[in-house]
Structure 1
Amino acid sequence: MFSVVPLIATRLADALGAGWDVADGTRPLDRRTLPRADVRLEDASLTNASGPNVTLQPRYVLALVVNAEATAYAALDAAVDTAIARVHHWRPGQQHMRLAMQGLRSMDFADQALIGFELIFALTTTRPGCNE
């Protein structure tokens, strides 16, 4: 579940290209570098706990941030399209289901020179418990 974060970040960085600074929380991030993307595990809901296994649905948030300028919405449109095309319905590993987009929400910044949106993706994973 946690190991999926760098996999998503690498896939997103490859898709967005060299102009984007893509982070996953494992290194210091200079938030002044734009455009930038940030991938994080937000939370995980427990969907099933019957029997020895538990089924979790982790939610991953991909934040996309650009300068508020004339081309900002075009840049965000392209980045959102790219993120959906590369992440939605992608299977990051054998123990996981496919990622499914759950929503899109705007971000609030104290600095009015920034515009950002978060894309939320979820997947389902089953983890073994004790079966003694």
Structure 2
Amino acid sequence: MKNPLVTGGVSHLPAKALSCTKCRTSDRLSLETIESIEPHAGELMVWVSYTCLGCEASYAHNAAFRDVAAVLNRNGAVSGLLRFGGMYFHCGEPMAFAQSSARSVYAPMTTEDVDDGLLDVYLKTRVIQCRCGFRMELPA
């Protein structure tokens, strides 16, 4: 299937290997996001973003799913937070919905009680948490 987001009917870009171009290795990669891409012919590919823990360089591109799986299957490869298919993972488990709230994005510049006539702006958020206690607040 052709990518509808690319002009001229060009199909998906080819998969690139997961590797740090500065360190010239794939041994110290930390995956951050893995997202599906539109259906395509050939090998299964995903959109992946990752950071090299050695030099802190960041990358994002199409990659073969088997290459991403190889990085995920390394012992101790998943640390921190991973976004995979719209879900967040911490400690190797999906994080669960905890609560919703509304937060004011207006922060007064003074501690004095001044009525400046500004309306408060609220942002609806949702809190997700991991079994270990790690919590994260996301826009709803």
TM norm. shorter chain > 0.5: no
TM-score interval for Structure 1 and Structure 2 normalised by the shorter chain:
under 0.3
Higher helix share: 1
TM-score under structure 2 normalisation?
0.21
Which protein has greater RCO, CA pairs closer than 8 Å, 6+ apart? 1
Please report the TM-score for the alignment, with normalisation by the length of structure 1. Answer: 0.22
